[in-house]
Amino acid sequence: MKFSGESAYNIAKKLSTLSGMEKVIYPGLEDHPDYALASKQLNGFGSVVSFVTDRKRVDPEKFMKALKIVTPANTLGGVNTTISHPATMSHRSLSAEEKKMAGINESLFRLSVGLEDPGDIL
């Protein structure tokens, strides 16, 4: 967990610098609303990084199809890095209103970082 957590942090930092990203959600980033609390209570920040892309610049379907190393999956966690597109995977059965209430939109992705080198993932 330590390695994948460190990798997730490095990936979150890198993603936050890329054009085409609206938001990177990771409790280990100082701009996360619960960063101070997470720093006190957690031993590491975990291996899941969520991010929201700029829909005008990044087409979710093309993005998912272009992935080489990262595997699309409905469930997150494990030694291999996986990615989820909640709007079309885990939350696809929800109505548009239910998705909105849950904070799910077409530009949201969840990346579960495994044991690969972060440079290979990015």
Domain boundaries, the chain: 2-121
pLDDT in tens, 30-45: 999 999 999 999 999 9
Residue (of 26, 78, 81, 33) closest to 52 by Cα position: 26
User: Which DSSP state fits 74?
Assistant: S
pLDDT in tens, 52-77: 999 888 888 899 999 989 999 888 88
Residue (of 28, 57, 52, 30) closest to 42 by Cα position: 28
Read off the pTM. 0.84
Helix, coil or strand: residue 112:
strand
Spatial CB neighbours of 104, under 8 Å, sequence gap ≥ 6: 86, 87, 91, 94
Quick one: 2-121 is in which CATH superfamily? Aspartate Aminotransferase, domain 1 (3.90.1150.10)
